[in-house]
Amino acid sequence: MARQVRRAFKYRFYPTEEQAAELSRTFGCVRLVYNKALEERTRAWHGEKRRISYAQSSALLTQWKKTEELAFLAEVSSVPLQQALRHLQTAFVNFFAKRAAYPRFKSRKRSRASAEYTRSAFTLRDGRLTLAKLGAPLDIRWSRPLPEGAEPSTATVSCDRAGRWFVSLLCQDTIAGGPATDALVGVDAGITALVTLSSGEKIANPRHERRDRARLARAQRNLARKAPDSANRDRARRKVARVHARIADRRRDFLHKLSTRLVRENQTVVIEDLAVRNLLKNRRLARAISDAAWAELRSMLEYKCAWYGRDLVVIDRWFPSSKLCGTCGTVRTKLPLNFREWTCECGVVHDRDVNAARNIRAAGLAASACGDGVRPQRDTSRTGRSSAKQETQRATAGTPRSWAEEEVK
């Protein structure tokens, strides 16, 4: 069954010097407007207990443009500035709904440099995209075609830390449903094997960061020797950023292929609700866990299952998938990380990861049958009850920890 979804198509482009300068100015103005609006809203709330709406923020922007100090805001396109105010409004809506933390100020060095243009601020004709205030069309590498007859609603221009320029076009696209299948698979995430399937298949962890670790270390040592605020330091910083970008691109490509395969081959995918943020507190495993990118894999599975009409079942993180014998139901008290195989009291020898994946599949089958465990809300430290507190309470009560929580101990 075909579905209509909003889908972003991202392309790389190569701006001229004039275009790069104008876009960089726009990025700076967007960041300034966002920060000033956030400052005004924070001051109004803490000082006067008064909320400022999007309309009031827009009126403030008009006033800022009329001042001598901020008159340069009128020299760039007004659309990205208005979009920055809309994004701030969305951030506050999410904060008051307890879905996110309080909005933070954007940093020139750490925040993503981007600007969003709506239909009134760009034109797309015959494969030529022209943004407001730029004059000439962008030199885009059209790596894949846009959906036939699609009219992009927004165009987001960004520049990453490696100096690469991208434009993302948001379009309405038709996604055909996946091939009919009744297969159900349990997925156990790990470090040695990135995922282990309930069928017994293990997909090795490519360890992209480890493969480029020597190159990254050389680039970082070279950066450390440069004088602060010098042109040489800026060039060295970009070399470091390019290594990071290479690692991230290869990791993302691998996860896209893996998640697409899982969604296409199975009607139901069952995973564990891992507390990745808590696992990263372990200094010995944090680097390997970050390189595995379990959270990114879960995010891909979530939206691809929605696209292709599949079911994603997320079982409780306290389910003892590794320590539970899938034959007799016995639960081991302890199962250290170095125990890759273990023998149950009933005499069955279990491969740790395969046994966990099969138990996850069985738990997902039971959860989907009774309607529980499908896409639960993720725990955050902002909800008033952190995952760390839950872990302590559940452990004190004698509830078995999940395999991942046990492994980091």
| Cα separation, 198 vs 258, whole angstroms | 15
State the pLDDT at residue 109.
82
Q: Is residue 36 part of a domain?
A: yes
Q: Is residue 383 part of a domain?
A: no
Which residues have C-beta within 8 Å of that of residue 396, sequence separation ≥ 6? Answer: none
pLDDT at 362 over 70: yes
Number of domains in the chain: 2
Do 112 and 193 lie in a common domain?
no
State the pLDDT at residue 357.
92
Q: Which is nearest to 3 in space by CA: 175, 210, 260? A: 175
Average pLDDT, the chain: 86
Do 196 and 123 lie in a common domain?
no
Residue numbers of the domain that contains 117: 2-176
| Cα separation, 277 vs 247, whole angstroms | 21
Residue 330 tokens read as: 């016995």
State the pLDDT at residue 389.
30
pLDDT band per the 50, 70, 90 thresholds, residue 80:
very high
Mean pLDDT of 88-104: 94
Amino acid (one-letter) located at 352:
R
Q: Is residue 387 part of a domain?
A: no
Do 170 and 190 lie in a common domain?
no
State the pLDDT at residue 59.
96
Do 320 and 172 lie in a common domain?
no
Q: Is residue 222 part of a domain?
A: no
Q: Containing H/E element for 141?
A: strand 140-141
Q: What is the largest CA-CA distance in the chain?
A: 82
Do 192 and 325 lie in a common domain?
yes
Residue 176 is given by DSSP the state P
Do 193 and 331 lie in a common domain?
yes
Q: Is residue 18 part of a domain?
A: yes
| Cα separation, 162 vs 12, whole angstroms | 13
Do 189 and 117 lie in a common domain?
no
Do 193 and 130 lie in a common domain?
no
Mean pLDDT of 322-346: 83
Do 280 and 155 lie in a common domain?
no
State the pLDDT at residue 102.
94
Do 163 and 259 lie in a common domain?
no
> Could you tell me the pTM of the whole model?
0.82
pLDDT at 377 over 80: no
Do 16 and 122 lie in a common domain?
yes
Q: Is residue 160 part of a domain?
A: yes
Any alpha helices (H) in 266-384, and if so which ranges?
276-279, 286-292, 294-308, 352-370
| Cα separation, 165 vs 138, whole angstroms | 11
pLDDT at 387 over 60: no
Residue 73 is given by DSSP the state G
Active-site residues, by number, are 188, 272, 353
State the pLDDT at residue 124.
94
| Cα separation, 405 vs 61, whole angstroms | 48
pLDDT at 85 over 80: yes
Three-class secondary structure assignment of 190-254? CCCEEEEECCCCEEECCCHHHHCHHHHHHHHHHHHCCCCCCHHHHHHHHHHHHHHHHHHHHHHHH
Q: Is residue 239 part of a domain?
A: no
| Most confident stretch, 163-177, 269-283, 355-369, 378-392 | 163-177
Do 68 and 188 lie in a common domain?
no
Question: pLDDT for 304-316, tens place per residue?
Answer: 999 998 999 999 8
Which of 239-248, 261-270, 378-387 comes out lowest in average pLDDT?
Answer: 378-387
pLDDT band per the 50, 70, 90 thresholds, residue 371:
low
pLDDT at 25 over 60: yes
